[in-house]
Amino acid sequence: MTGLQHAAPAPLDLMFQALADPARRGMVERLTQGPASVSELAAPYAMSLSAVVQHLRVLEDSGLVRSQKLGRVRTCQIQPGGLSLAEQWINDRRTTWERRLDRLSQYLADTAQDDGETP
């Protein structure tokens, strides 16, 4: 019996949820220009350090960021392939959508030929 009490959220849930907060996006933006400590990441924000750490945890759980502690400072950095899942989902939507439009306009062109083309 594999019945889970609360189903684990899908990776994409965690990823998009993580990106839905402006502070968390800001931290990711900061980290794309290079690693930073927790307090460096916290500096631009009005919130408490505790709140920043909680955001960081969401980012790590989503696979976007990873970090390691050395002495008393934790250094955070982008997880290299982190965004690729989200990127791929969006790309899949775009291509499916575009293929459909192509088929549709092809169909319309063919139909136009069938009756109204030469008056």
Partner DNA sequence: ATGACACTTAAGTAATCACTTCAGTGTTTC
Partner DNA sequence: GAAACACTGAAGTGATTACTTAAGTGTCAT
Please give the residue ranges that form the binding site for its own copies (CB under 8 A): 10, 12-13, 16-17, 19-22, 25, 28-29, 32-34, 78, 83, 86-87, 89-91, 93-94, 96-97, 100
Residue 68 main-chain phi, psi, to 5 deg: -145, 150
Closer to DNA at the Cβ: 33 or 118?
A: 33
| Contact flags string 37-66 toward DNA, x per CB under 7 A | xxxx-----xxxxxx-xxx--x--------
Secondary structure of 8-75 in HEC code, one letter for each residue:
CCCHHHHHHHHHCCHHHHHHHHHHHCCCEEHHHHHCCCCCCHHHHHHHHHHHHHCCCEEEEEECCEEE
By three-state DSSP, how is residue 1 classified?
A: coil
Q: Identify what 29 binds: DNA, its own copies, none; CB under 5 to 8 Å per kind.
A: its own copies
Instruction: Please say whether the beta carbons of 65 and 59 come within 8 A.
Output: yes
Binding residues among 3-42 for DNA as defined by CB under 7 A: 6, 17, 20-21, 23, 37-40
Q: Where along the sequence are the contacts to DNA (CB under 7 A)?
A: 6, 17, 20-21, 23, 37-40, 46-51, 53-55, 58, 69-74
